Amino acid sequence: MNIRHLTFRLLQVYVTVVRCGSVSAAARQLHLTQPTVSQQLKRLSEAVGSPLFEQHAQGLTMTATGQALYQASRDVLGRFDDFADQLSDLQYGRKGRFSIVLVNTAQYVLPRLLGPFSQAFPDVDVTVHIGNRRQVLARFDRHEDDLYVFSHPPALAHAVAARFMRNPLVAIAAADHPLAQQSSISLEQLLSERLLLREPGSATRMLLDSWLQEQGVSMQKTLQMASNEAIRVGVAARMGVAVLSEHVLPKEHPELAVLPVAGLPIESHWQFIVRSDQRLPQSAQRFLHYVHEHLGHWIEPHFVCNELDGLLATYPTFPLRS
């Protein structure tokens, strides 16, 4: 027996004949002519190398070989029914996997979207990577992920971006800091304090640097720290002041005060970025649709900046309905 001479169609016809108990009835059910079915059975018998039926007074009776083939056929056809079900889930983005990479600060906000999405689509396997700006850009170059989350990204080849959230940078100091008691603070006042900063490659640092450059001023006393969390704790401990994403601050932050510095907050936005030269899995498309529809549920209104329409329009065939 050479499996290459078997076709799924032959198996379908065979199973139908067995179930109907006659060639003619099977032909009717399959909307074929009786000779077609007769010939298909003959071909199948030749492919297997043994008779499949015996002539008996009671009609068609399967041989032992026929019995084994019936079982195998049902198993195989059933297995592909299962696969087709899986396929449906995959195509509707209800199942599958995708990879998303966030710059450090975005880790404070994305779980608020990824969490509910994962609950709504438990069969979607999301891999989350976190890195600084340079690391994220390197991954983009290497096509390593399906979605990238940046604020203020550079102009990247093959990148399609869409904003979904405001990411304002604010100045903070300890709650009992002298500047915290003022109702209005000049930029020079802020810069006379020691600034706690991220490393030069970070998005926050980059944004601050370019903003200060626009204002024609420069920083005087700085202290570089390894993470936003360390900076926040350092400010609370009066090591200095800082300019950080508002998202880094807990909802209640009694030990900290946002300083009303002239010109702040610095406006920036979280953006989803995909590669136009790379396939975006259905599950990732499902996630983007979910974000688009649920931003208002999970994010405070003043942060919402839903510009995902354009990005989603680049995937016109995505099946919104199952």
Output phi, psi for 243, to 5 deg: -115, 115
Task: Please tell me the count of residues contacting its own copies according to CB under 8 A.
Answer: 43
Q: Which of 31, 142, 302, 321 binds its own copies (CB under 8 A)?
A: 142
How far, CA to CA in Å, does 99 sit from each of 95, 140, 158? 14, 12, 18
Nearest to 306 by CA among 276, 270, 273: 270
Query: Considering CB distances under 5 to 8 angstroms, the limit depending on partner class, which of DNA, its own copies, none binds residue 157?
Result: none
- Select 30 or 236, whichever has its Cβ closest to its own copies: 30
Query: How many Å apart are CA 15 and CA 81, to the nearest integer?
Result: 15
9 binds DNA (CB under 7 A): yes
- Select 76 or 187, whichever has its Cβ closest to its own copies: 76
Contacts of 269 (CB under 8 A, 6+ apart): 151, 152, 163, 164, 165, 166, 167, 305
Here's the x/- map for its own copies, 273-302, by CB under 8 A: it reads as -----xx-x-x-------------------
How far, CA to CA in Å, does 193 sit from each of 152, 196, 212, 229? 26, 10, 15, 19
Q: Which stretch binds DNA (CB under 7 A): 28-36, 82-90, 161-169, 292-300?
A: 28-36
Query: How many Å apart are CA 28 and CA 250, to the nearest integer?
Result: 70
34 binds DNA (CB under 7 A): yes
- Dihedral in degrees, nearest 10, Cα atoms 238, 243, 245, 248: -10
Q: Which of 32, 76, 219, 233 binds its own copies (CB under 8 A)?
A: 76
What's the min distance (Å) between Cβ of 73 and DNA? Answer: 13
Residue 53's SS3 state is strand
Residue 146's SS3 state is coil
Q: Which of 9, 19, 42, 158 binds its own copies (CB under 8 A)?
A: 9
- Select 97 or 205, whichever has its Cβ closest to its own copies: 97
Residues from 39 through 78 that contact DNA (CB under 7 A): 39-43, 47, 53, 57, 59-60
Q: Residues in the site for its own copies, rule: CB under 8 A?
A: 1, 3-4, 6-9, 12, 48-51, 54-57, 63-65, 68-69, 72, 75-77, 79-80, 82-84, 86-87, 90-91, 95-97, 142-143, 278-279, 281, 283
